[in-house]
Amino acid sequence: MASATFDHVTKQFAGGDVALKDVSLEIHDGEFFVFVGPSGCGKSTALRILAGLEEMTAGEVRIGDRVVNRVPTRNRDVAMVFQSYALYPHMTAFDNMGFGLEMQGLDAAEVAWRVSRAADVLELVPVLDRLPAELSGGEQQRVALGRAIVRNPELFLFDEPLSSLDARLRDHMRVELQRLHQKLRATFIYVTHDQVEAMTMGDRIAVMNGGVVEQVGHPLDVYDHPANLFVAGFIGTPAMNLIPVTVSGRTARSSGIEIDLALASSVDRGVLGIRPEALSAQPSPGMPTIDIRVELSESVGRHQLVYGTAGEDRIVARVDSFVRVGHGDCMRLGVDPGLLHLFDGRTGLAVI
């Protein structure tokens, strides 16, 4: 297995659109690394450049210590799994997994051994003689994974491989991919627009926006300490409440909120960030509070999401399901002061 490095990589298309802007980062050997961001942010382009399917405009890409800028895809020792399984419909699962090895000239015994070993890891042994049309969606996905595993590559590259699955199967396959990573101890590089996938699967994540890597780190570090407004608004479900405020010393004010910050700030115009789970329907004594007028609530099992307004600002709170609220009710929410964020209103960078 190997590490992967992007060193000041830029990708500009012929029409002038820039997909990647001076991207530099290192993916560690054996790591489960996730690129996450909205559609068009450049995450798939980064993966395709690493695979050799896309040429970069500037910069350097290394796999391990080897510069691969001009190395063709077939010689990069990577395996890629796409959103589309791209299985040959007339071939059995066994033949789909072994076809690439046969094209490399491996003998039948070696092909059979590699396919059998991958099928055992993926629990596909009972279905190896079936055609793709006879397999479930999850089994087809695992065959596509098996086709990558048999090659024993230095890097496994995944381009939104679960996005076409239904919610239940997607959850199941998330767990299976993590188990597979633990078994193989391989380097997995994964692209997704789904921040839940990124948060649950990645050892580290890179949040991308407009061809720029906004922040790299452990998922919980990115969640707890977003570097800027984009990361704060993108990571988290529901999204962080982001409220324009004026700041004077330690006090932040908006049309319906006045709250003391943990530290004094030098910015006078900011954006106050409050995650829905930092709000409580049962404020402790001395806890800062926000009064909202409830618009609606949604039950999500043991919790409910309460949507309301504080002055002109929209607020979402995650509270216990036993709290009874309805449209038009006034509700006082406690705010955990240790979970407040403040961003510079001009630059968008985190201040607190």
HEC secondary structure over 256-275: CCEEECCCCCCCCEEEEEEC
Tens digit of each residue's pLDDT (9 = 90 or more) over 139-197:
888 898 889 889 889 999 999 988 877 788 788 888 888 988 998 889 999 999 999 99
pTM for this prediction: 0.91
Cα 48 to chain centroid distance, Å, stands at 17
Same domain, 67 and 142: yes
pLDDT score, position 129: 95
pLDDT score, position 167: 81
In a domain, 336, yes or no: yes
How far are the Cα atoms of 140, 150, 271, 325 from residue 145, in angstroms, in the given order?
9, 9, 44, 47
**Does residue 339 sit in helix, strand or coil?**
helix
Range of the domain at 210: 4-227
Same domain, 243 and 222: no
In a domain, 84, yes or no: yes
pLDDT score, position 145: 87
Q: Kindly tell me the burial class for residue 319, based on how many C-beta atoms sit within 10 Å of its own C-beta (0-12, 13-18, 19 or more).
A: buried
Q: Are 262 and 341 in contact (CB under 8 A)?
A: no
End-to-end CA gap in the chain = 39
In a domain, 36, yes or no: yes
Number of domains in the chain: 2
pLDDT of 108 strictly over 90: yes
Same domain, 73 and 221: yes
Same domain, 19 and 101: yes
In a domain, 317, yes or no: yes
